[in-house]
Structure 1
């Protein structure tokens, strides 16, 4: 069943010489030690020295070092390194909208730091050191929500992050928004000095897309587990027969995700005693739950693979390979894999949200809930129970559905047709984060309903693990009797059943 203890991080540093893990991105929301080992610094310095060598050769073109950017590559860039940095970043200050959540920004910068630390981006070693130092503080650049197409990197959002690290624009310290220069002073950091290649390497990757997809995946997975647990609790409270989880039945279905989900649900329902008062076949929101949740599991495993590959890969252009004397110009900044994966997350979220909402609808309906009062009201008419909560869940599902249209199919040419196809992965990933929160609230709403159902006459669960989940909810949330605003209760229930993952 779902753990009810909020996620806690270890104090172990993130080693830039080791694989980057999704859990590290969550840890980056708070001060976090990041280790730049001698081996990491050595490979970064080797890449930087190679950049100096090829830059000194007039016959070796290097994008962004001697040239303009994007569609203006045919024109010479600025001669001075500091000017070339300004040339890179200033024109990208075109983002709009509210600031991204600080946890997304810091996670994105951890992804960016790890990529740069692989030594093939030609950055200065002090850039990696400066980024690592930032993570030991609460500093978070203020980055606008809108402006990236997820190709040639998350240019605009990462440019705002780079400018904040230079002391320009705005940033957050301990959650307070301030001018970036002041935020640097308050955290004991100095402005990060960048040349043209450093600046381009900071922005020329899809780190916002990757980080947001990874965070969204973790949140949807937490809700997916919660949906399994809540389905089991619903089955037990109603006295339904768990025969729809029969291992022979599920094995014949042939899908590995359904097998894994059904195994977990059978374990949660171990010891359940059906009441014998339910129909032979339950509504699909119960009977087909392992098939729906199993398909979601298969889809989430696909997203797992994309996120793992993104976290293990270098997103930048060009890349420098000193051992082979090669400067490789290409498209490793193209966020198509994460765009597809984040769109899949949104589709999974919509289906899970619909399932959870339909289960709450079943629970509050006296025609289908084995005789419990309408809306689970302790005194129908004088009280309204879960009526307001159900209205809100209807709105949540509608909002998730509206947002579930794929972003990855919306390519538009831009940048004088230099970027003639783009993945829009940033939009897909940020949208996946946002709808994951609505799914979490849907799970909290159902959990609140299940807690209330026992108060108004539902039976106590007979499976020990279901009973333990109900007791945890009952210990934290008092019955709805009399009516009261339930917004905070929904959030608390969501925290309990998802392990606090937001």
Structure 2
């Protein structure tokens, strides 16, 4: 659903959810009337909790989104922001946030259009939720600041009118309930893990295709070998690659042992599969949890102040995903290097050029791939351990989960480009006399690449071809999932 919401979606909130939200809001109003202090509703924010808040509830809402509108940097992609709104909607609909019932239908209506708030990338430390990014969401829904409509940036009020939406009215607890959760962190991590899972299968697919083009012996995928290794995900990776290589006929001219970038792929990709499985578990827990403060439990008559907005679980998980993603990127870059090297690729022309010297084949593609991998390595430094005290030491330990999740999402995009680069090279190898795959599955993949990417003869710009190949690989991976190649 996180990926689907990049386009307009129809969402229905169940009647019992609306009843829970209404009951929680009534309970909140009763507590306020009884003189109970409630953080952010009757008090100031953060370390200023020891002071009273503004008396007028609507003014208090204005103060929340106003003082938090301090973000910097480029805007987040609209599809990430829309996934964030969906995540926040799901949390608020659980009925423990005290929000006014009318807020939920407004979020549903927004997701039914192409509207997306303009949200700057930098500002959240992932503690007390994604305060600054979500403040921009709230402002845009009120018709303030900027928004995107069908990908075009414009004043938020204009975007609302063009989309047929009504500006959101916030009162009392509403603004803090909208901003006080890790919804951007969870949404970005969710999008990242879905992309990396798809690329994980693409890595198996391209490894199999490379091995078939080179004429490698598939013995490195043997059942008994991986059973002895003892890691279930490595066995699963080898099994999927055997499916792709079913029917292959080795040339018998390759070295007894292939380089690690072929021979050790089930072990490497199996370890990545284990990491993905763990990250998925953490992210699903976060998406289904409630990262709010305070929380209201009308059935127990309780208002509970705590720290569910502390995004440490996803911070650790996203950093693990980033490290795993970079290693898959390392693999793709090394496989590309193997394929362009005439000393290791079975005698194909250097750089897969049709006429070396007059033509340069995928030389530029390899240079760009090297730059991508270097940038990925630099970006893989964990964010989750970079805690810096802030907010008058109210937030004296912070997880930086938002940075970890957005970093993982960036790296997932870079990995797609590395796979697109390797795919373009495999297609070019077929043009200059490389072996046609003998496995039917690998041959079918190569044929689709050939249909999409023209041969490099003569040299031409290849940036768009790399991106197109990456898109095609995603499509094939989704089809393979439906066919049973993926668990």
Give the CA deviation at 1:117: 0.5
Number of the residue aligned with 1:56: 33
2:348 alignment partner, SS class: coil
Q: CA deviation at 1:62?
A: 1.1
Q: Give the 3-state SS of the residue equivalent to 2:417 in structure 1.
A: helix
- The whole-number CA distance in structure 2 between the counterparts of 1:437 and 1:386 is 21
CA distance in 2, matches of 1:43, 1:352: 45
Q: Report the 3-state secondary structure (helix = DSSP H, G, I; strand = E; otherwise coil) of the residue aligned with 1:462.
A: coil
Q: For residues 414 and 233 of structure 1, what CA distance do their matches in structure 2 show?
A: 51
**Match of residue 265 from structure 1:** 241
* Residue 206 (str. 1) matches residue 190 (str. 2): no
2-structure distance, mates of 1:501, 1:180: 37
> Offset of 1:37 from its aligned partner?
2.3
- Provide the C-alpha distance between the structure 1 equivalents of 2:82 and 2:115, rounded to a whole number of angstroms: 8
Match for residue 380 of structure 1?
356
Q: Distance in 1 between matches of 2:266 and 2:215?
A: 18
> 1:404 maps to what in 2?
380
Q: Deviations over 1:18-58 (max 9, x none)?
A: xxxxxx11111111111122211111101001101111112
Structure 2 unmatched runs, 5+:
479-487
CA contact (8 A) 2:424 2:466 kept: yes
> What secondary structure, in the 3-state scheme, does the structure 1 residue paired with 2:114 have?
coil
Residue 104 of structure 2 is aligned with which of 109, 128, 131?
A: 128
TM-score by length of 2: 0.97
- Residues 435-446 of structure 1 aligned to structure 2 (within 5 Å): 435-446=411-422
Give the ranges of 4+ consecutive aligned residues of structure 1 lying more than 3 Å apart after TM superposition. none
What SS is found at the alignment partner of 2:409?
Answer: helix
- Report which stretch shifted further, 475-484 or 270-279: 475-484
Residues 1:286 and 2:269 are matched in the alignment: no
**Aligned partner of 1:419 among 378, 395, 402:** 395
The one of 66, 69, 84 equivalent to 1:93 is 69
- Corresponding residue number in structure 2 for 1:340: 316
The question of whether the paired residues in 2 share the 8 Å contact of 1:229 and 1:268 is answered with yes
Q: 1:248 aligns with which of 213, 220, 224?
A: 224
Match of 2:191 among 174, 192, 215: 215
Q: Counterpart of 1:463?
A: 439
**Counterpart Cα distance in 1 of 2:47 and 2:184:** 23
In structure 1, the partner of 2:482 is: none
Distance, in Å, in 2 between the alignment partners of 1:93 and 1:224 is 38
Cα distance between partner residues in 2 of 1:424 and 1:231: 35
Q: 1:229 aligns with which of 189, 199, 205?
A: 205
User: What is the alpha-carbon distance in structure 2 between the residues aligned to residue 51 and residue 232 of structure 1?
Assistant: 59
Deviations along 1:64-117, one digit per CA (max 9) or x if unpaired, are 111000010000000111111011111001000110000000000100011001
Query: 1:352 aligned to 323, 328, 332, which one?
Result: 328
Q: Would the aligned equivalents of 1:86 and 1:196 in 2 still touch at CA under 8 Å? A: no
Q: Deviations over 1:172-224 (max 9, x none)?
A: 11111111111111111111111131000000000000000000111111111
The SS at the match of 1:36 is: coil
SS at match of 1:25: coil
Aligned counterparts of 1:190 and 1:236: Cα–Cα separation in 2: 58
Tell me the secondary structure at the aligned position of residue 320 of structure 1. Answer: strand
| Equivalent position of 1:106 in the other structure | 82
Q: Which has the higher contact order (CA 8 A, sep 6+)?
A: 1
CA contact (8 A) 2:202 2:477 kept: no
Which of 59, 62, 76 lines up with 2:52 in the alignment? 76
Displacement of 1:455: 1.0
Show the counterpart of 1:472: 448
Contact 1:384 1:483 (8 Å CA) reproduced: yes
Q: Give the match for residue 46 of structure 1.
A: 23
Q: Residue 344 of structure 2 is aligned with which of 368, 373, 379?
A: 368
Cα distance, 1:501 vs. partner?
Answer: 9.3
Change (3 A) 1:501 1:454: closer
The residue that corresponds to 1:29 in the other structure is 6
CA distance in 2, matches of 1:106, 1:369: 45
Q: Does 1:161 align with 2:137?
A: yes
TM-score (norm 1): 0.94
Count of aligned pairs: 478
Report the RMSD for the aligned CA atoms in angstroms: 1.1
